Amino acid sequence: MKEMPTEELSAVNGMSEEDNSVVTEDNSLQKATLLVVDDNHDMRRYIRSLLKNEYKLLEAENGVEAMKIIEKHQVDLIVSDLLMPEMDGLELSKRVKENLATSHIPFLILTAVHSEENEKKCYSIGVDEYLCKPFDADIFKYRIRNILTLRRGYQERLSQPAVLSDISELGLIEESRDKIFMDRAMELMKLHYAEAEYGLDAFVRDMGYSKTLVNQKMQSLAGMPIGQFMKNFRLDMGRQLLEQGKGDANVSEVAYAVGFNDPKYFTKCFKQRFGCLPSSFSHA
């Protein structure tokens, strides 16, 4: 796991001018990594021929091998056969979806067994797609592309102003580990956004998981590190306060009210996020 980005430090002691500027990477230029799990070598080779030009591919013969690969590599989507020795696709999908560290990974089941019961079981666990063999190559590729596009859409919407105040628009599955995680993150920020001393360490402590896991999960679901998530939330709350003030709000007072120690830094970050100065909402 990579070390915490330097911009995360902006959340440790409140938001101040001394904080490092946030540098974002264009993830759209990076190929997604797919894990193909199937005990049939010829099927893996066929799938590889369909996907090798668009994605980075990892392979496993069964669920046991797949779990070892998932522990060592970042995987963006899993394509798995249903019936396999040692650990089948149903058990693999269950373990992936029950583990907070991996529950965000989309899962596509491939099977030669046309069973409505198995299909219901897979969807109840949280599998994203269930496709029967033999399958149309183009439909297979479209479904993978659509799943990954939907995941990127979650991240893009979370990065947009005002969305942080309501994650119901993201379409996360109710009672899923991903939804519970984001609900908890939102709840904590709603409680503590005004406290300048409420930084990254306190947030991670209250989330109840390791810093590595919380950062990994935030990156996967929101497409940003913890510190950026916290900063964006505070900026969104600042904009709400300015809008509610209807011209009477003081920028410095609002900056302090949402946990920024430096009004000038608040103004700089506000301009970066919203494309306008906070003074456009205020007399001061």
Sorted by sequence, the CB contacts under 8 Å of residue 82 that are 6+ apart come out as 88, 89, 90, 109, 110, 111, 113, 118, 122
Query: Are the beta carbons of 93 and 122 closer than 8 angstroms?
Result: yes
User: How much is the average pLDDT of 29-54?
Assistant: 92
- What mean pLDDT, rounded, does the chain reach? 84
Q: Three-class SS of residue 78? A: strand
Q: Three-class SS of residue 30? A: coil
Share of the chain above pLDDT 90, in %: 56
- The CATH superfamily label for domain 27-156 reads Response regulator (3.40.50.2300)
Instruction: Give the helix/strand (H/E) hosting 220.
Output: helix 211-222
Query: Are the beta carbons of 220 and 185 closer than 8 angstroms?
Result: no
User: How much is the average pLDDT of 133-159?
Assistant: 85
Q: Is the pLDDT of residue 10 over 50?
A: no
Nearest to 260 by CA among 248, 269, 273: 269
User: How much is the average pLDDT of 264-279?
Assistant: 92
- pLDDT confidence bin for 283, thresholds 50/70/90: low
Q: What is the pLDDT of residue 222?
A: 84
CATH 1.10.10.60 holds for 164-281: yes
Residue-wise pLDDT for 198-250, tens only, equals: 999 999 999 999 999 999 999 888 888 999 999 999 999 999 888 887 666 78
68-76: list long-range contacts, CB under 8 Å, 24+ apart: 69/35, 70/35, 70/96, 70/102, 70/105, 73/33, 73/35, 74/33, 75/33, 75/34, 75/35, 75/102, 75/105, 76/32, 76/33, 76/34, 76/105, 76/106, 76/148, 76/151
Query: Are the beta carbons of 78 and 58 closer than 8 angstroms?
Result: no
Entry pTM: 0.74
Q: Is the pLDDT of residue 23 over 80?
A: no
CA 187-191-195 angle, 5° bins = 135
- 37: number of CA atoms within 13 Å, CB side? 31
Q: Which range has the top average pLDDT, 47-51, 145-149, 275-279? A: 47-51
Query: Are the beta carbons of 207 and 230 closer than 8 angstroms?
Result: no
Q: What is the pLDDT of residue 122?
A: 85
> DSSP secondary structure string, 31-74?
PPEEEEE-S-HHHHHHHHHHHTTTSEEEEESSHHHHHHHHHHS-
Q: What is the pLDDT of residue 5?
A: 41
Q: What is the pLDDT of residue 92?
A: 95
Q: What is the pLDDT of residue 156?
A: 74
> DSSP secondary structure string, 160-214?
STTGGG-GGGG-PPTT-HHHHHHHHHHHHHHHHTT-TT--HHHHHHHHTS-HHHH
Do the two domains 27-156 and 164-281 of this chain adopt the same fold? no
Domain residue limits, the chain: 27-156, 164-281
Q: Is the pLDDT of residue 27 over 80?
A: no
Helices and strands in the chain, H and E counts: 11, 5
Residue-wise pLDDT for 59-84, tens only, equals: 999 999 999 999 999 999 999 999 99
Query: Are the beta carbons of 79 and 37 closer than 8 angstroms?
Result: yes
Q: Is the pLDDT of residue 264 over 80?
A: yes
User: How much is the average pLDDT of 144-168?
Assistant: 71
Share of the chain above pLDDT 70, in %: 81
Q: Is the pLDDT of residue 252 over 50?
A: yes
Q: What is the pLDDT of residue 62?
A: 95
Q: What is the pLDDT of residue 21?
A: 37
Residue-wise pLDDT for 86-117, tens only, equals: 999 999 999 999 899 899 999 999 988 878 88
